[in-house]
Structure 1
Amino acid sequence: MSNKYTYGEIYAHVYEEYAAVQGKEAEVGETVAFLKQYCNGGSALELGIGNGRVAIPLSEQGVNVEGIDNSCEMLKLVAKRTDLINAWQGDIAHFSSKQRYNLVYCVYFTFPLLFTREAQIACLRSAAEALDDEGALIIELWVPDFNPRVAGQLTTTARLVDDENTIIDVSVHDPLNQNLISTVLWFSGTSIRRLPQRVRYVYHQELDTMAECAGLELRERWEDWSRSAFTKRSERHISVYRRSGS
């Protein structure tokens, strides 16, 4: 996952605090409960394992979890927290494993960090090959904003404002490649952090089409980890794919 704008070494030192501020720590329990239901044989692979936010509590539920991340610094965070998870450095778009898993999952909007369509399709193909015959691929994604943007338009969005934090996203739109090149400005107390990234947004219909190219088909789609119905007002989705014909 070669992306000079991505989390990796830039985000590792603030990842845990940033995820907590964004509300991701609060939903770990629901995330793990959801994922565990697809680990019938007890094996899972996380694409973009980060600091083990989800992988570690999932492993504590008796699931044999492994993980991939392109960041050495992120992998160090996992190693500091546990020695039960086999996590290795690699590109989630192009990986292979002799192990076959009941579950392969990619959460916290990691998938768009693959900022080309080709890389995203390659990731889906690699994931499909890593599944066992009854395995499931689960992806968490946000639903792109339908407000029109023109090429090169600079957009500023307030992500979060509370008593202690203000998080602002400043992005430039590249519609030809469906890319958002952005910088997150995080104001907290007297500190200001600048966190750049580049993503390729994906509509859920396109994700389904790309999954079909990888031999996968959609089986379920939910708004959140508690299985709320996915509707036209949903701001994200949890999509479950299986091998076609399985």
Structure 2
Amino acid sequence: MSDELNYGEVYAPIYEEYTAVQGKVAEVDQTVAFLERYSSGGSALDLGIGDGRVAAPLSERGVKVEGIDNSCSMLELLAKRTDLIKAWQGDIAHFKTEQRYSLVYCVYFTFTLLVTREAQIDCLRSAAAALDDEGILVIELDVPSSDPRVGGQKTTTVRLVDHENTILNVAVHDPLTQNLVSTLLWFSGTSVRRLPQRVRYVYHQELDTMAECVGLELVERWGDWARGAFTEGSKRHISVYRRSSPSSGDLPRQKRG
């Protein structure tokens, strides 16, 4: 069960503005350059393609990009942005495609919108099945806070403060499911927007274990799209996986973290 559909429908009207404020638009060039390296000039599948923030510029570099999203509203935004990309409505946890891709990727925090461990494993399994023999899976995730968490704990964190915007996140934590049920409060000028969401956070070690369960192995892990080192102070990670027994074409085995 995924909260992607609700997320997409809630965020679609303000998604471009929201991602710009969060700094995601500014790093698109780095994201696309990173992904292009693994596409081998072939095809790519975007899991949770949204409005095409990453997929559109990647396709403009000659990569044949396709995508999946649960949200009709997001897919409408994608269609307005470009006609170069084939995309369909579906659940990224349970999808099948006859096409095999050089690259499958899931960016931002889309993977955590799958709010059970089972759904996350199913997503990895579906992604692995969609890879060609030398295909690569790339996942971007935040590093969960190291602060002690207790059941039912309510937390308020400041996500952003600048001269125009203040974004607060109010969350309730369920440690048994690793779920955070939260509401973003976005103050901009005289307006206040309330944006609910639910995620299942994942530690990078757990992600590696889940990937191994579906026949994937970690190749590289980076701290950002610019290929900075992943360290104990990193706030996120970019993890690169491949099938455990590729037929050919080894990548440099640079496990990080």
**What is the TM-score of this pair, normalised by structure 1?**
0.98
Secondary structure of the residue that 2:27 maps to in structure 1?
helix
Secondary structure of the residue that 2:38 maps to in structure 1?
coil
Q: Deviations over 1:163-202 (max 9, x none)?
A: 0000000000000000000000000011110000000000
C-alpha displacement of 1:7: 1.8
1:9 aligned partner: 9
Q: Does 1:80 align with 2:75?
A: no
Structure 1 contact 143–235 (Cα < 8 Å) conserved: yes
The 5 A counterparts of 1:34-113 are: 34-113=34-113
Secondary structure of the residue that 1:108 maps to in structure 2?
coil
1:121 aligned partner: 121
Structure 1 contact 6–198 (Cα < 8 Å) conserved: no
Q: Which runs of 5+ in 1 are unaligned?
A: none
Structure 2 distance, partners of 1:62, 1:92, is 24
**What is the TM-score of this pair, normalised by structure 2?**
0.94
Q: Deviations over 1:8-27 (max 9, x none)?
A: 10000000000000000000
Q: Which runs of 5+ in 2 are unaligned?
A: 247-257
2:253 aligned partner: none
Structure 2 distance, partners of 1:109, 1:10, is 16
* Alignment-mate amino acid for residue 233 of structure 1: G
Q: Does 1:132 align with 2:124?
A: no
Runs of 4 or more, structure 1, over 6 Å off, are: none
1:150 aligned partner: 150
* Alignment-mate amino acid for residue 90 of structure 1: G
Over the aligned positions, Cα root-mean-square deviation in angstroms equals 1.0
Structure 2 contact 41–62 (Cα < 8 Å) conserved: no
Secondary structure of the residue that 2:26 maps to in structure 1?
helix
1:191 aligned partner: 191
Q: Does 1:222 align with 2:257?
A: no
Structure 2 contact 4–113 (Cα < 8 Å) conserved: no
Structure 2 distance, partners of 1:107, 1:88, is 18
